[in-house]
Every structure is written in structure tokens, then in C-alpha cells.
């Protein structure tokens, strides 16, 4: 018997043996596929006699991943280990947590359906946690059926937070019990056993394996959207006979053949293996998928609805109280008298607990209460107050504005701990308060601009305009970065840049602006499906751009000349020791992603803030923003510029920032004479001499590393 490149053990397949060849990236792979008829012990016998050195397993899960931790199925591993004899085996778990996430997300984008309103059933989230997490990001109406269909208990998990709490205990149980206890595909008898059918009837979207669907689904699934691992046309026929509306196949296709995730994983490892050293396979896979686009298989069994697809995803305007966003190109300033001021409000909050102590009541309570308790209770002690004002704003055109600064008594930690509605309610209280004082627009500062859906829900419920200020933050960041690069002797056209938090609202637009300026760009984000979707868009606009993607920062930092960090993390995400001498780090995040202590360890690296703006001469600011006198944040500056123009429509909202709005607000800044502040680092203004000193230390470090040559 001649050896193929890969032995594919199809656990759920009929007893058979067949051979075929697959071609991927100009390489050919011969595959011997053996059906095991759900017999685990037969797998061990086939392995014992097989000459192949790479084994792909489909129909069973050997490795589970949750929150960065791997759980291996001990009983299955012990059964197969003697027959493996050290050979490489893959169950496709790496492809599931990279490509499968993207296929689910891409299918959601392609289907003309508002998933936010869809009731969703995930039959088993434990084996495909990544896909379940992606679907949960598109809807809150979700049920996870691991306890229903895996453990056969009548206990649904009805939220992503419930799944996260239950997952560690569930995984420890799964990996220490017989495979058949949890996985229906491992039970010897394949008979149908409809179970907990009410959840199938309730759901409009279903995600699950074909083994689960064949065993537990009722006779009809009329009108539903089903995400499944469609292996062949029999699976499509099964779903069509149950009156499914749309089937989404999650197995990748190579040519005209659907291939298992385990098979694709082994092929990619053979293609991408560089040497015997340990590789970052996840990054290698993501960058392969960046170059070779896979798409979801979407089969619609029902005729398309007689409606414009673009209209399906839009909520009726009648449900959205308050002014509607106006397209930038149609913008016209509201008519006003010559002396009428533009009015605005801006929201700030403490970034760390210590800032609470500026309030006299909280400072007194801090002496008698634990800080953790007081941080939780601060919103009870004080209502959102006006903490400052900005008056006598006069621009170069003579336009005038004034505004109120409001405080929300939440730190980023407490905002993340509770549902977004808790923060929304406080922000909406402020919008109503500001409206009564004549404000036409409110700016969301710091973490209030990223919590939940980044201002969209607030805008729908507000009767005045809302902006996150992120468009001008992006414009100022790029201008400040270019100025710093010039002083550090970095030619942008030859530079390697890295954007951490690339798929966020600010990060994604910075990627678009940098892609045309730098030689190479690396995108970093924990969500692989969003990374792949973003790079698809960048490829369309900049086909010659040199792009790379990764979920971890290590290798990206080592190569970067310029780093922009835009995450919403609470804590440091940049490892300063990995940066090369002379690198520039622009910290756009609030709270900051880099601590002063960490930056002090690398005097040969320039760490700068995203860029602040000078307040107009003569303007009077009361209240402490944590900045020197006469300096304001770019997000506040955007709110002021819109007020000067009396542009009281919603402006920057959501996760996607348009280049048109960045250019528009930049033009407004030039029109009104708003100027950049000096480059700053951890609150300290940097002179040109300070930056040139960093450049000199970087040159010395590079000479020292090269032996003084």
C-alpha cells in the first residue's frame, strides 16, 4: 500500500476508502480518506497499519480552546496515542478559531438580514467557541445548547457571559469523560432523537454540526438560516428537505471539493513550516488567509424576498428619536444671527480610581471605605455634575461657541464590568440636561466613546447631536505622527508600521490612512474575523500595500518603526523591551496603553500621546482635564468645531470612521484656525531638542548593538 501525504480519518463517514489529490498554493497533496462509521476503536486499528505521517481527523474534537487556554481530550488522546507513534495529527481546531470565525462573520455581512433581531441557537459552543463568539457579537437573543444537547440537561445558557462562566467547568468535564458522553457524533447508533425541540422552533438562526442536526432536529426547520459543516450534497439535501431557508457551509473549499478543517490545517502546516523551531501558527494561518481568500458557501433554498436588500438591515426611522445624521457632502450650517453662539456639551470620566478623590465627598468617604467599594458606589453618591465650562471661544472666522463639561462617575473598569445600558442611561441623562441649557451637540470623551456600540444607541435616543470625536482624533494623530517621524529621521515611505487595536473605530481608519504612506503595515487585533475583513477592504483600496496580520504583538513590535496603539484595554499592551531603538509609539488609547514606568526603561524609544490641540486664544476653561492650560483633547476639539459651525447633526458614531469625515473635520480645523499643541509624552511637553535627544540615544544603541561599526 503506497503512502499518501495525509491520511484523513472521517469519523462520521460510511465505511469506505478513497484517494484524491488537492492543490493549494501551487502545491499538490495526495489524500487517503477512510470512513470510520462512528467506531473510535476502528480509528486506532487503521492508524496502527497506516504508513502516512500526517493524520487529519474529522467528526471528533481532540483539542478545545477557550480564552487562550487549550483543553485536550484525555481519553481520546490516550486511546489514539499508541497507534499514532509520534505522528502529527490535527482535528482542525486551529482553522476553526481563525478561518471559521471569519466565514461566519463574512456570511453575516453577505446575508441581507438584520441579525441583531434574530433569535439564535448554537447547538454546541464548546467545540467551536470562536464561531459562537462571532454570532453572539451580532445578536443578544442567543441560546447555547451545550447543556441541552451535549449533557442532555434541560438547562439553556442564554448569554455569552453565562457561557464564559460555565465553559471552564464544562470543558474539564468533557475532556475527562468518554467522547460519546458529550459528542452525539461519537454515539454508535445514528438514530434520530429529537430533543428539546422548542429551542429549534424558537430559533431563527442555528449554528451546529451536521451530527447534532441529524440527531436532534425536528422534521421541519422552516424558514431558518443554518450554519453547519456541510461536507457533501447529502447534507444540503437534508437541510432542503427540512425546509431550511438558507444554509451556510463552514467547511473551506479547495477547487470544487469541500475539505475538513483538520485536512486544511495539515496542508497549511506543510506549506508554511519554516524550520524545526516553534512557530506562531495562528499568525501564519491568518496571513495565508489574507493572501488566499476563502469565502462561506451560501445556499438559498427559498426565492429572494421582493425587497431591496440594502433596506432590510435598516431600522425604521420612526423608531429612532432625535435628529438624524446628515451626509457630510450635504452639510449646510444652520442659519444663525451674527452674535449667536454655538452651544455644546462634553463628557469626561475618571480614568483611574485616584481621580475620584478630587471630589470632596468621595475623598472623605475614602478614609472609611475600601477603594473597591467606593469605586462601585460612586454613581450613587454623586449625580453626573457639570465639572467645568468653556467660554469665550472665538475662532479665526469670528464664529463663537461655549459649552459645559460633564462628569460620569464611572472608571473604565466599572464600565466594562456592567452592561452598556448602565453607562447609556447616565449619558442620556446628561444629553437631556445639556439640551435644557441650549447645547446642540454632545461629545463623548474617553471610554464613553467606545463602550457598547460607540455612541450609536445614545444617538438614537438623544434629541441633540452626538459625536465621539474620533474623526478629529485620527486627523490629529496622523499629523502629530508625521511631525514626530520627521524629527526622528524616519522616512514614512520606507517605514514598517504596526497598529494595535486595528479593528476598532480609530484603529481601522488609521490603517486606511497609513496604508498609503508606509512601506509595510501590520494589523494587530484579538478578533481574527475582523482582521481578515479589514484587510479585505484595505486590499481593495490599496492592492499594492504590504500587509500582515496577527493576534499578538510580539513579532510585530520587533520590526516596527512606528507603532500606533488604539485599544480599549485596561492596562499596558505594549512590551517596551521588544521595540527597536528609534521606534515611535503613538498612544491613542484612553486610558493609556503604556505606563510611564515602562516607557522610562527605553529612553531610546519615543512614546508620544495621540496629539492634543491648542484652545483658541482668549477662551476660558474651568475644570481639570488633566492637561496643561490652553490644551484640549482632539475629541473635545471636534465637538467645539461642530458647535462653531452649528452642525448639530450626529457626526462620528460607531466602529467605522469614514475618510470623508476625517477630511471634513480637518478642513474645519484649518478654516477656524485651530492649531496642534506641542508633541507631548505622559503629560510633558516635548521640545524639538528633547526628541532629537531620543534620536541620538537610539543611534548610540544601534551602534552598540552592531559592535560600534
Give the CATH number, domain containing residue 520: 3.40.50.720
Mean pLDDT, to the nearest integer, of 468-496?
Answer: 91
Q: pLDDT band at 223, cuts 50/70/90?
A: very high
Contact 578, 600 (CB under 8 A): no
Query: Per the domain annotation, does 702 fall within a domain?
Result: no
What pLDDT score does 100 carry?
94
Burial of 391 (0-12, 13-18, 19+ CB in 10 A): middle
Domain boundary among 308, 332, 366: 308
In tens, the pLDDT along 446-474 reads 777 777 777 888 888 999 999 998 899 88
Q: Which residue has the higher pLDDT, 145 or 306?
A: 145
Q: Which residue has the higher pLDDT, 420 or 435?
A: 435
What pLDDT score does 83 carry?
87
495 and 419 housed in the same domain? no
603 and 627 housed in the same domain? no
What pLDDT score does 592 carry?
73
382 and 262 housed in the same domain? no
In tens, the pLDDT along 290-347 reads 888 899 999 998 654 433 333 223 233 333 333 333 334 444 444 444 458 999 999 8
Helix count and strand count (H, E) for the chain: 26, 31
381 has pLDDT over 80: no
114 and 203 housed in the same domain? yes
Q: Which residues contact 111 (CB under 8 A, 6 or more apart)?
A: 225, 246, 248, 298
Domain boundary among 288, 308, 328: 308
416 and 464 housed in the same domain? yes
What pLDDT score does 359 carry?
63
Q: How far apart are CA 85 and CA 76, in angstroms?
A: 15
What pLDDT score does 15 carry?
78
Q: How far apart are CA 648 and CA 644, in angstroms?
A: 10
User: What is the DSSP code string of 177-221?
Assistant: S-HHHH-GGGSS-------SHHHHHH-SEEE--HHHHHHH--S--
In tens, the pLDDT along 633-691 reads 899 999 999 999 999 999 998 877 888 899 999 999 999 999 998 888 887 888 999 99
401 has pLDDT over 50: yes
What pLDDT score does 680 carry?
85
Q: Which residue has the higher pLDDT, 504 or 510?
A: 510
Q: Which of 271-275, 322-326, 569-573 has the lowest mean pLDDT?
A: 322-326
What pLDDT score does 335 carry?
45
Domain boundary among 28, 57, 91: 91
461 and 386 housed in the same domain? yes
In tens, the pLDDT along 162-182 reads 999 999 999 999 999 888 888
426 has pLDDT over 80: yes
Mean pLDDT, to the nearest integer, of 134-158?
Answer: 90
Express as a percent the part of the chain with pLDDT over 90.
47
CA distances from 561 to 107, 160, 211, 488 (A): 36, 38, 50, 10
Q: Which of 9-18, 235-244, 280-289 has the lowest mean pLDDT?
A: 9-18
Mean pLDDT of the chain: 84
Query: Per the domain annotation, does 709 fall within a domain?
Result: no
| Residue 152 lies in domain | 95-308
In tens, the pLDDT along 90-130 reads 999 999 999 999 999 999 989 878 888 899 999 999 999 99
3-state secondary structure 37-56: CCCHHHHHHHHHHCCCCEEE
195 and 181 housed in the same domain? yes
215 and 232 housed in the same domain? yes
Q: Which of 181-195, 324-338, 422-436, 583-597 has the lowest mean pLDDT?
A: 324-338
What pLDDT score does 616 carry?
94
452 and 540 housed in the same domain? no
Domain count within the chain: 4
What pLDDT score does 609 carry?
82
Burial of 406 (0-12, 13-18, 19+ CB in 10 A): buried
359 and 460 housed in the same domain? yes
Express as a percent the part of the chain with pLDDT over 70.
86
543 and 635 housed in the same domain? no
Cis preceding-peptide flag for 591 (omega within 30 of 0): yes
CA 368 to chain centre: 40
Amino acid at each position: 500500500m503506497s503512502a499518501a501525504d495525509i491520511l484523513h480519518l472521517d469519523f462520521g463517514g460510511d465505511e469506505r476508502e478513497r484517494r484524491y489529490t488537492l492543490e493549494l498554493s501551487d502545491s499538490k497533496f495526495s489524500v487517503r480518506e477512510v470512513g470510520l462509521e462512528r467506531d473510535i476503536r476502528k480509528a486506532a486499528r487503521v492508524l496502527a497499519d497506516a504508513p502516512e505521517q500526517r493524520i487529519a481527523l474529522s467528526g471528533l474534537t481532540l483539542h478545545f480552546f477557550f480564552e487562550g487556554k487549550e483543553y485536550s481530550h484525555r481519553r481520546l488522546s490516550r486511546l489514539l496515542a499508541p497507534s499514532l507513534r509520534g505522528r502529527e495529527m490535527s482535528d482542525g481546531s486551529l482553522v476553526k478559531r481563525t478561518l471559521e470565525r471569519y466565514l461566519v462573520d463574512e456570511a453575516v455581512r453577505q446575508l441581507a438580514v438584520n441579525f441583531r433581531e434574530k433569535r439564535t441557537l448554537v447547538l454546541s459552543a464548546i467545540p467551536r467557541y470562536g464561531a459562537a463568539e462571532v454570532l453572539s457579537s451580532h445578536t443578544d437573543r442567543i441560546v447555547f445548547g451545550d447543556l441541552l444537547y451535549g449533557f442532555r440537561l434541560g438547562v439553556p445558557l442564554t448569554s455569552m457571559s453565562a457561557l464564559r462562566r460555565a465553559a471552564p467547568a464544562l470543558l474539564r468535564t468533557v475532556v475527562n469523560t468518554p467522547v460519546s458522553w458529550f459528542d452525539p457524533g461519537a454515539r454508535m447508533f445514528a438514530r434520530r432523537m429529537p430533543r428539546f425541540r422548542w429551542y429549534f422552533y424558537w430559533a431563527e438562526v442555528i449554528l451546529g454540526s451536521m451530527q447534532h442536526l441529524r440527531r436532534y432536529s425536528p422534521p421541519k426547520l422552516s424558514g431558518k438560516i443554518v450554519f453547519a459543516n456541510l461536507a457533501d450534497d447529502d447534507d444540503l439535501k437534508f437541510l432542503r428537505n427540512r425546509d431550511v431557508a438558507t444554509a451556510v457551509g463552514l467547511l473551506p473549499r479547495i477547487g470544487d471539493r469541500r475539505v475538513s478543517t483538520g485536512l486544511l490545517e495539515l496542508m497549511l502546516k506543510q506549506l508554511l513550516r519554516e524550520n524545526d523551531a516553534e512557530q506562531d501558527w495562528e499568525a501564519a494561518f491568518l496571513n495565508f488567509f489574507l493572501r488566499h481568500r476563502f469565502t462561506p458557501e451560501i445556499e438559498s433554498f427559498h426565492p429572494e424576498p421582493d425587497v431591496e436588500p440594502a433596506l432590510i438591515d435598516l431600522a425604521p426611522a420612526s423608531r429612532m428619536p432625535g435628529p438624524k445624521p446628515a451626509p457630510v457632502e450635504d452639510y449646510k450650517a444652520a442659519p444663525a444671527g451674527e452674535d449667536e453662539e454655538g452651544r455644546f456639551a462634553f463628557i469626561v470620566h475618571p480614568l483611574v480610581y485616584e481621580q475620584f478623590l478630587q471630589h470632596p465627598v468621595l475623598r472623605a468617604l475614602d478614609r472609611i471605605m475600601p477603594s473597591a467599594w467606593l469605586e462601585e458606589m460612586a454613581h450613587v453618591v454623586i449625580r453626573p455634575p457639570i465639572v467645568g465650562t468653556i467660554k469665550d471661544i472665538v475662532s479665526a472666522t469670528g464664529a463663537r461657541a461655549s459649552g459645559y463639561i460633564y462628569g460620569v462617575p464611572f472608571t473604565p473598569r466599572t464600565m466594562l464590568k456592567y452592561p452598556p445600558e448602565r453607562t447609556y442611561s447616565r449619558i442620556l441623562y446628561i444629553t437631556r440636561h445639556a439640551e435644557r441649557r441650549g447645547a446642540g451637540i454632545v461629545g463623548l470623551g474617553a471610554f464613553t466613546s467606545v463602550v457598547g456600540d460607540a455612541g450609536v444607541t445614545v444617538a438614537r435616543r438623544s434629541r441633540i447631536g452626538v459625536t465621539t470625536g474620533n474623526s478629529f482624533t485620527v486627523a490629529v494623530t496622523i499629523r502629530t505622527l508625521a511631525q514626530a517621524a520627521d524629527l526622528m529621521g524616519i522616512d514614512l515611505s520606507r517605514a514598517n508600521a504596526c497598529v494595535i487595536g486595528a479593528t476598532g473605530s480609530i484603529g481601522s481608519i488609521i490603517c486606511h490612512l497609513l496604508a498609503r504612506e508606509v512601506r509595510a503595515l501590520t494589523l494587530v487585533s484579538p478578533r481574527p474575523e475582523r482582521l481578515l475583513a479589514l484587510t479585505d477592504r484595505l486590499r481593495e483600496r490599496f492592492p499594492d500595500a504590504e500587509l500582515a496580520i496577527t493576534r499578538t504583538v510580539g513579532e510585530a513590535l520587533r520590526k516596527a518603526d512606528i507603532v500606533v496603539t488604539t485599544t480599549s484595554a485596561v492596562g499596558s499592551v505594549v512590551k517596551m523591551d521588544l521595540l527597536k531603538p528609534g521606534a515611535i509609539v503613538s498612544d491613542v488609547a484612553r486610558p493609556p496603553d503604556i505606563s510611564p514606568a515602562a516607557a522610562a526603561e527605553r529612553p531610546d524609544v519615543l512614546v508620544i500621546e495621540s496629539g492634543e490641540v491648542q484652545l483658541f486664544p482668549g477662551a476660558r476653561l474651568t475644570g481639570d482635564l488633566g492637561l496643561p492650560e490652553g490644551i484640549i483633547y482632539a475629541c473635545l476639539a471636534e465637538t467645539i468645531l461642530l458647535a462653531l459651525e452649528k452642525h448639530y447633526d450626529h457626526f462620528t458614531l460607531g466602529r467605522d470612521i469614514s475618510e470623508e469625515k476625517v477630511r471634513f473635520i480637518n478642513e474645519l480645523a484649518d478654516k477656524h484656525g485651530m492649531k496642534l499643541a506641542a508633541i507631548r509624552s505622559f503629560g510633558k511637553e516635548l521640545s524639538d531638542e528633547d526628541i532629537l535627544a531620543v534620536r541620538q540615544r537610539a543611534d548610540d544603541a544601534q551602534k552598540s548593538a552592531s559592535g560600534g561599526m
